[in-house]
């Protein structure tokens, strides 16, 4: 796996998401990240535009909301924020 390999970038993004989630108080495990990425990928035709490849999405999970940055070229989450009372 080289630095230019998409799999390398996806792995780096996964580590970054786990680290940021922990730092920002977002409760999400590795399998939750995979399920969330799969759900976002299914919804991709609803928000994707040809001129962009990164999208901020608000995700509602039971009891909490979060804001995620999703990369459509890599098919993965890039970072995550917990939302409180309608804002960051």
pLDDT at residue 63, rounded to an integer: 74
Q: What is the mean pLDDT of the chain?
A: 89
DSSP string for 19-86: HHHHHHT----HHHHHHHHHHHHHHHHHH--TT-SEEEEEEEETTEEEEEEEETTTTEEEEEEEEBTT
* This prediction's pTM: 0.85
pLDDT at 88 over 60: no
Phi, psi of 83 (to 5 degrees): -100, 140
pLDDT digits (tens, 9 = 90+) for 66-78: 999 999 999 999 9
């Amino acid at each position: 796996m080289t630095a230019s390999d998409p799999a390398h970038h996806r792995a780096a993004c996964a580590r970054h998401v786990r680290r940021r989630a922990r730092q920002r108080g977002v409760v999400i495990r590795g399998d939750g990240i995979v399920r969330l990425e799969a759900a976002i990928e299914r919804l991709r035709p609803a928000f994707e535009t040809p001129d962009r490849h990164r999208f901020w999405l608000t995700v509602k999970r039971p009891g909490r909301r979060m804001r995620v940055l999703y990369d459509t070229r890599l098919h993965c989450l890039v970072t995550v924020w917990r939302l409180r009372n309608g804002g960051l």
